[in-house]
Amino acid sequence: MPPSIRDHARTFVHAATTPLVPADFLDLVAPLRRGTDLRGRVEQVVPETRDAATIVIRPGKDWAGHVPGQYVRIGIDVDGVRQWRAYSLTHGPRRDGRIAVTVKAVPDGLVSHHLVHDLRPGTMVHLEQAAGEFVLPPGGGRYLFVTAGSGITPVIGMLRNLFPSTDEGVLHADRAQTHDITVVHVAPSHPDSIFIRDLEALAAAGAIRLVARYDDVHGVLDVDELPALVPDLVDRRTLACGPAPLLDALQRLYDDKGLELVTEQFRTARVEAGEGGTVTFADGRVVTADGATPILDAAEEAGVLMPSGCRMGICYGCVLPMREGSVRDLRNGDITTAVPGESGAIKIQTCIHAPAGACTLDH
């Protein structure tokens, strides 16, 4: 098409679609095309337990892929507000190009409850590229995975990549031949154990050694029992994912033994609450928050649209500059202070900080 005709056609299209532009219509008919904001279309929502579901997504053409164990940040509109959360990808690269995450609905979890119970196939979600360092190192070796609850999700991605399941059963791929893997998995009960069928199938096929511990049968796991459960523990490299109390206890055990421990957690442990305070935003709005509530949660509750991501201090998707005032880190109690004319603006993670008195954020 000659340039003059192309220009006239473009002018006509723009005029005919005002106030929309052609890109808006392309988003309607081809939202997964290259060169646009990365999105995905939900294709399946598969229940795993009564409060967990696997969500299969067809990502846009600009999806760059992932390494098993990494997570993806998903943005979805809930009650008219776009919320972002991070979830581990529960598989290796798939031939069909789809990606999947498994979500456990947590108490008071606005997004997790929506994804597990209300999400429908066909829904469009926003995506970011995969990220995270909790991955299996290259090469083989002897490994121990310690997982609890939804902490199994990044690990199942690594295991599925090493040992794909087929109609004939578990396939021992060449890449898995040099791996010797033991999995200690903790769950409240067998019915509430996400991916327990996968783990049991891998164990039955001889791909892994599985040590399953259920609170209703064995009681809460005492990490001091771990050397008895895994006699060759000192000869294995350990990767652990689960709630903060378990990981903290494991870290103490491994420090005492002089062993390396690689961890990833989905929910942060928090110290005793402080007194709280007020948060003033650049537009003049003031939000009051107690010492136990993250600034992110308090601001959203007050109707302030906030950037967010994993909500546990890992992805840094919620960072904002603090111009003055003090905040308290809910994980360890540390106080961070910005002094006008001295320190300048200090970037803080709003998902893990509460106000410690008055503070002002540049947002």
Q: Please, are residues 154 and 264 in contact by the beta-carbon 8 Å criterion? A: yes
The tens digit of pLDDT for each residue in 28-60 reads 567 788 888 899 999 999 998 888 899 999 999
pLDDT tier at 149, thresholds 50, 70, 90: confident
Residues 6+ apart with CB under 8 A from 18: none
Q: How far apart are CA 161 and CA 173, in angstroms?
A: 9
Answer with the residue of higher pLDDT: 176 or 328: 328
Q: How far apart are CA 245 and CA 271, in angstroms?
A: 12
- Beta-strand (E) ranges in 21-149? 39-49, 52-59, 71-78, 81-88, 99-104, 124-127, 141-148
Instruction: Considering only CA atoms, give the Rg of the chain.
Output: 24
pLDDT tier at 140, thresholds 50, 70, 90: confident
Per-residue model confidence (pLDDT) at position 21? 46
pLDDT at 18 over 70: no
Q: How far apart are CA 155 and CA 158, in angstroms?
A: 5
What's the whole-number average pLDDT of the chain?
85
pLDDT at 344 over 90: no
Give the pLDDT mean for 287-306.
Answer: 91
274-361 architecture in CATH? Roll (3.10)
Structure tokens at 251: 């870290």
Q: Which of 7-16, 69-78, 212-221 has the lowest mean pLDDT?
A: 7-16
Domain extents for the chain?
Answer: 31-127, 141-264, 274-361
Answer with the residue of higher pLDDT: 20 or 165: 165
Question: To the nearest 5 percent, what fractions of the chain are helix, strand and coil?
Answer: 25, 35, 40
Q: How far apart are CA 12 and CA 17, in angstroms?
A: 9
Per-residue model confidence (pLDDT) at position 167? 61
Structure tokens at 299: 């601001």
pLDDT at 3 over 70: no
CA quadruple 52, 265, 263, 230: dihedral sign = negative
pLDDT tier at 229, thresholds 50, 70, 90: very high
pLDDT at 14 over 50: no
Q: Please, are residues 353 and 318 in contact by the beta-carbon 8 Å criterion? A: no
Of the chain, the end-to-end C-alpha distance in Å amounts to: 46
Please tell me what DSSP assigns to residue 117. I
Give the pLDDT mean for 201-223.
Answer: 93
Per-residue model confidence (pLDDT) at position 15? 44
Give me the CATH code for the 141-264 domain, please: 3.40.50.80
pTM score > 0.85 for this model? no
The domain made up of 31-127 has a fold known as: Elongation Factor Tu (Ef-tu); domain 3 (2.40.30)
